Structures are given as C-alpha cells and as structure tokens.
Amino acid sequence: MSLSFQVVVCGSVVPDPLQTLEPVMTPAGPALKNELMLPVWFDPWAGHALYEAAHLAKQHPGSKVTLVSLGPKAKLQQVLMTIGQKVPFEFAALDGPAGGFTEPAETAGALAEAIAALPGLDRSRLLVFGGWESAARGAGVTLQTIAEKLGIEDVFLGVDELKVLPDGGLEIAERIEGGRHQVSRCAGPPAVLGWATGNLPEPKNNPQVGMMNMRAVMPALQKARPVKLPGEGLTFTAVNVPKQLRQTRIVKDAPVDEIAAEIVEWIRK
C-alpha cells in the first residue's frame, strides 16, 4: 500500500539563549531589552519536528513538508539561511511578533488560518507537527489550539517516535512519567503531533538543499502577510528576571547523615 503525507511543521525563531535576556516594560507592553539587536536561532523544539517530518517524507515518496513560520521577516531570513541547508521543505511565512509575550490563542489562530489557506491542502493526508514546548512560547497549548481551530481530534504531545503501520494507521510513542512511553494508535491523518526530542540527530548541512530551499524561501518571505497579535485581554503587572538565591556554608569533616538531615530540614522550610 503506497502512502504519502502532507506534513505541516509550525516553527519560528527564538532569541539566542547565550545572550543576556532582560525583560523590560514598553508603551506597547513587555518586551526584551534591545530585542531587535539580539541574535536568533530556530526553535530547537520545532527543529526536532522538522527533522522528523523530513525523515517521514523521505520514507514515503510523494509526501511533502511545508514549514509555516510566524515571526519578523528579517529574523526569519537570517535563520532560514542555516536551517534551509538541513532538509528540503516548502515555506509559508507570516510577518509578525515571535517573542515570549504573545498570547498563544492568537498565535494559534494565525497559524491555523495559514495552514488552512495552503494551496492543495488535503486533510486526508495532513499531519501537523510542532514542538511539544517552545523556547519562546512555552505555554504548551499552541498546538492543541491549532488542532481545535482546524477541527482535528487526534492530538499527541511529547512524541518521541512515529511509526506508519501497513494499513495506513499511525503508532505514536508519547513521553509519560518515570522515563516511560505511552504507545497510542490512530486510524491515520489528520493528526497533530507535538514532538519532544524524537530519535533523529541534527542533519548535516547540504549546500545543494540550501540553494533549492532558498529559491522558494525568498519569494515566500517577500509575500509574507503581516499579522498583528494585539493580546486582547492580556495584561502584565511586571516582568523580571528570576532572582538567584545562593546560601553557602563551608563545613569540614561533617558526617554524611548529618549533611543529609540538614538538607532535608532546609527543603522542608
């Protein structure tokens, strides 16, 4: 039985975590200090989803992968010059904010609308991939909201492995407590999968793939539709970097049991 899929991956840019990320209040709401100057990279959670999508498409001829991104056009262009050399994909861009202070429901609405508008969308072959979490939008509800807006009932989160069964069904391994996995099965697409780390390493750079991708990425960026996320009903009373608390006391030759008892007492307090 020949199977093919239409895989849509949702992913965008996030600030480089090696930079100092200092939240500040602006007239337009909370933001990061010098946000426009911060270097960015592709969200690592979404990266796993993209690599798994490309692997799935390679295993099933006739499948295609489309990356849908919501973010500032200039930042997306920087990142796609690198990520575009990893795996082949088509690209659809939305020009809008990509920070951590956006409302997940509004983000999901914009992404769902973009997915529904993709040319030749076939729901009987549709798989929507994304990060289980996000380095910027870590609310953990964006993919579920996308599924609701697209009318997709089968949603799997914390996915580490996807197998396509001979009858066209899907077998999904999701992370649960204790380092174990819950294995679920569904009849097939459409389905939404939020990936954890998956099982694949990061692909090597391939300049030929990069050149092929950029032929489509640049026109897609030029045609990116502006999207505003007003954050209606969303308010912030304050934004601060978590404070570090460190209490150190040096004691020599203390018995192990005494140290353990002191740690337990400290935790209880």
Q: How far is CA 145 from CA 16, 39, 142, 233, in A?
A: 27, 29, 5, 17
Q: Which residues of 223-238 are buried (b: 16+ CB within 10 A; e: fewer)?
A: ebeebebebeeeeeee
Q: Which residues form the domain of 65? A: 6-226
Within-domain flag for 246: no
Q: Supply the mean pLDDT for the chain.
A: 84
List strand residue ranges (DSSP E) for 165-228, in order. 170-175, 181-186, 191-195, 225-226
Q: Report pLDDT for 50.
A: 92
Pair of tokens at residue 42:
């592709």
Is 130's pLDDT higher than 80?
yes
Q: Report pLDDT for 234.
A: 66
pLDDT digits (tens, 9 = 90+) for 161-187: 999 998 889 999 998 888 888 999 999
Within-domain flag for 266: no
Is 1's pLDDT higher than 60?
no
Within-domain flag for 191: yes
* 209 neighbors 169 (Cβ within 8 angstroms): no
Provide the 10 A C-beta neighbour count for residue 104.
20
pTM: 0.81
Q: Supply the CATH number for residue 164's domain.
A: 3.40.50.620
- Average pLDDT (10-17) is 82
- Average pLDDT (98-125) is 85
Is 2's pLDDT higher than 70?
no
What's the CA gap between 137 and 117, in Å, rounded? 23
More confident residue, 105 or 148: 148
pLDDT over 70 for what percent of the chain?
91
Name every residue whose Cβ is closer than 8 Å to that of residue 106 and which is 6 or more positions away in sequence: 229, 230, 231, 232
What's the CA gap between 227 and 107, in Å, rounded? 9
DSSP-H helix ranges across the chain = 44-59, 73-83, 104-116, 142-150, 207-222, 256-268
SS3 for 230? Answer: coil
How big is the CA angle at 140 (ends 139 and 142), to the nearest 5 degrees? 90
Within-domain flag for 104: yes
Within-domain flag for 254: no
Residues listed for the chain? 269
Quote the number of domains for the chain. Answer: 1
Within-domain flag for 236: no
Is 137's pLDDT higher than 90?
no
pLDDT over 90 for what percent of the chain?
23
pLDDT digits (tens, 9 = 90+) for 203-247: 888 888 888 888 888 888 888 888 887 766 666 666 666 666 677
Within-domain flag for 261: no
The pairing of beta strand 191-195 with beta strand 155-164: parallel
Is 138's pLDDT higher than 70?
no
Within-domain flag for 250: no
